[in-house]
Amino acid sequence: MKKTAIAALLLLAAPLVAQSGPGRGPGNGTGNPGAGSPAIPAVSPLATYVASLPKEALSPAETGQILYLREEEKLARDVYRALFAANGDRAFANIAGAEQRHMDDVKLLLDRYGLADPASAVAGEFKDARLASLYTDLVARGKVSLVEALKVGATIEDLDLSDVGKALDAADNRDVDAVMQNLAKGSRNHLRAFSSRLAALGAPYAAQYLPAEQIAAIVAAPRERGAVDENGTLLAGACTGQGRGGRGPGHGRGRGPGAGAGSCDGTGTGTGAGRGPGDGTGPNCPNE
């Protein structure tokens, strides 16, 4: 609309202009979009690390914990997907995606040791009767309100940390410990996310599985980033970026000095530096 109005005014003013000539003025420039994009490793650092470790015989306790945690991570994913469908809060969709990656981490061990996958492709369906009952109960509770949904999220992460802690106590295989350490790190981050939302809403989370002082210490600690080894130490080359891909250099749409053409009208083609997607890491980072 603005360009049309200017063109009309120029036509009216044409007789008053002595001679057409070059002019300079502000112009709208169009450039190429920034070329940056989120960096997503083809293979997660954890998968590479696990593959480098010796393959040791699993104890019955280790086997049982691996099978159980594969379904428990599915419980978290399925509940969060159901709650996102119910209330539309993006936090549940984002954390459900992280839970899928946790399921994939446990699947590394299933495949490595030739264990049958207990996880059903059907949402809310579990071989473990306790998990099946928890799914029904947690989804029903979470659908009551956003606050209740966030409490459900914190409860799941509290439970997961308790069970992963037991798995770490029972395991001595380095590859099993490495996967469990990464599950625990992810659950601590998710617990922080849910707890901070609840605190902001005036409904702080009350510990149900871990001791209250342990929950408080986790929530007070900063977010953890990057894949870790069996001792919880950050792996070399692990992703530690924050959030979405950062802003990178790119020529985009912007206002800049433009070279006028024809009637000294001050309009023309300009160039400007715009903001394009940068190279970074974010929700797609598999090291979460």
Whichever domain contains 166, its CATH number is 1.20.1260.10
Q: Do residue 170 and residue 57 come from a single domain?
A: yes
Instruction: Provide the angle, in degrees to the nearest 10, between the axes of the packed helices 212-220 and 174-200.
Output: 80
Q: Do residue 149 and residue 267 come from a single domain?
A: no
pLDDT of residue 42: 67
E-only strand ranges, the chain:
23-29, 247-250, 254-260, 268-270, 274-277
Give dist(CA 271, CA 27) in Å, integer. Answer: 8
Does residue 234 lie within any of the structural domains?
Answer: no
Does residue 242 lie within any of the structural domains?
Answer: no
Is the torsion defined by CA of 126, 84, 185, 50 positive or negative? positive
Q: The domain containing residue 13 runs over which residues? A: 2-38+250-277
β partners of residue 228: 234
β partners of residue 250: 274
Q: Do residue 73 and residue 159 come from a single domain?
A: yes
pLDDT band per the 50, 70, 90 thresholds, residue 29: very low
Q: Do residue 94 and residue 176 come from a single domain?
A: yes
Q: Do residue 180 and residue 144 come from a single domain?
A: yes
Task: Encode pLDDT of 97-152 as tens digits.
Answer: 999 999 999 999 999 999 999 999 999 999 999 999 999 999 999 999 999 999 99
pLDDT of residue 41: 56
Per the prediction, the chain carries an average pLDDT of 80
Mean pLDDT of all residues in 200-214: 98
